[in-house]
Structure 1
């Protein structure tokens, strides 16, 4: 399609945003890449920088009880529910510089551009820079947004990092009281909705030659630890007909998982596979493997799971192998609210794209947590080759400028179309 041309003002703001992405990228626990995790010195440094940016944008700012950086600009009168614009500043190991970070900076810049008209809005504007979305340090994900949503689990405080430091101790070391984390929670009546801008983390916008897209839903995910058990025996001395090779069962399972998921439109990944006892001359007696299963709907995801397990169990039985399955994570699919999808669509149209593409997010986002208490909407920004969670993560200044214009227009559309009150949609 014809290249869209953002305004000169938006391009100037986008250049500032790109420079701030570079500033935040320089905050890292490693010299050979980017890594920022929860309740660490790097968290403190990116929080201080976010506080500076939020203050410059004209907002009142504070760090909440979960360590998130927050900002607020009042609407037509003090105390109104807030339209929350947010994303995260933490990273995976060896990360790119735009996943999460771009969404936070776009939110801050959008509020700055809306500052003069904020007194006319039927809601306040709030920004949140979530301190943990990735779960890199302690394993549990969406910690910052779950705290805001009031779905924080007290048992998380007992989780330990790779050095054995518990989350509870990390809170104290950071200067926060773990017993007060519940004070970060918002009530449904505190919010007029939630909007998040994020890089797509997939290739579909680039394939369509489009800068921006409307997110329709976020995939529901379930994760499992699978164990295939056979019998470890001498590789040379055990005839094939006597073998109970667990790796044969696991290998067939990997192939079946991909085949079934592709046939049914789901997404399945085996990211970890470990054999025991692990000798080169020993028939593997046990294999432990992971399974990450996602789909646009919970029903499809669970249907594929049933088919996968049926197929694996059948093959294992024929090989005299045992399969055990332990679920280690579950997150329901989330549908974006139609009114916020319409606002995002209107925002993208304001940039000159008459028919914004719609996508469902195959990756998880903080919007999933906020959906427990309010309507959510998301805007995707094209990223080069769909690469994310990698140093090659890349966006263009022009696309960032268009995203800024679209976000600003979306906020104004939410205000124009009504009071911004949630419509009671899907909050699974």
Structure 2
């Protein structure tokens, strides 16, 4: 009888002579390799393309200027991504529906203007002005979301009207002065300038991050296993946690070599992680992904489409407001140009470059982090090498175009495999 067993790639007995822990790691890596080839053929590339782009950007700019990967520049980079990154996280929620929110820039400027006028010009306590500013963004997003859900007018049309409306309201609130300087000793102004100088703070944050990743992965594995669904092995969970640990503690080490852990970065990562759990491990998150797969199918499955769509735009407005406050903190002022310029384009580009699909139903909040790292790394590299801003726009546009093409090709491959 013919032997149909697969050919050995190593000499007989070689594997058995390896230590048990090496055999375990080898099996995990082999499993990951098979899974990667399967996902590649099915068009499920995940974060791999953006990680490769980010690595290429860092290598190129480090070769052009040895200060690019210095602790100082990386620390500044980690703070610069926060404001626009928070707005991009809200964009991710909207893109998961297969829609687009064009009003986030104007809402961010409106929230910053509300806070500055209440706190600086009218003496309202900072904590109260902060709450009102965030609620203003939430209200703006809720109004747009309800209008979109009830009228079924495409979200980009509703939010385009919102872009003009909220920008006009911001200009009206600021009045003739046009610019309001924040109190530099206030909470909001210190959001992007405060650092935890104690080395233990950064390492403690890294340890908590690693523990959270392991706990979430382990609980997800146990839940999937209990219902008979495919799940990761414990070795795979441990190896994945180990990779996160290397990245987290290396980041903590680099930050401690400059001024320590930035408060803004800590808040950003906590918000991103929290919203990621909401999206991937709650009923609401599953409903968002379901709507991205098809609104009619979701309606027939008895999902409350209007409520979910309204909530998604409300989340986008809230994140835009919070992001606007961080952007105001970075320059310690609010002006008539707040929320304008390339802010909207960068927020949308960050979400798309990071791997969130324009067709809906695919992406995570971490997509915004990766995409924002790419965009801000390009901007930082251009600044440190004295390259004209025009070149920065062209490179960012090229990366965005490549991301859209990859997304389209991936969707075609998924359709061919019956996954879209």
- Where is the helix percentage greater, Structure 1 or Structure 2? 2
TM-score above 0.5, yes or no: no
Instruction: Answer 1 or 2: higher relative contact order, Cα 8 Å, separation at least 6.
Output: 2
Please report the TM-score for the alignment, with normalisation by the length of structure 2: 0.23
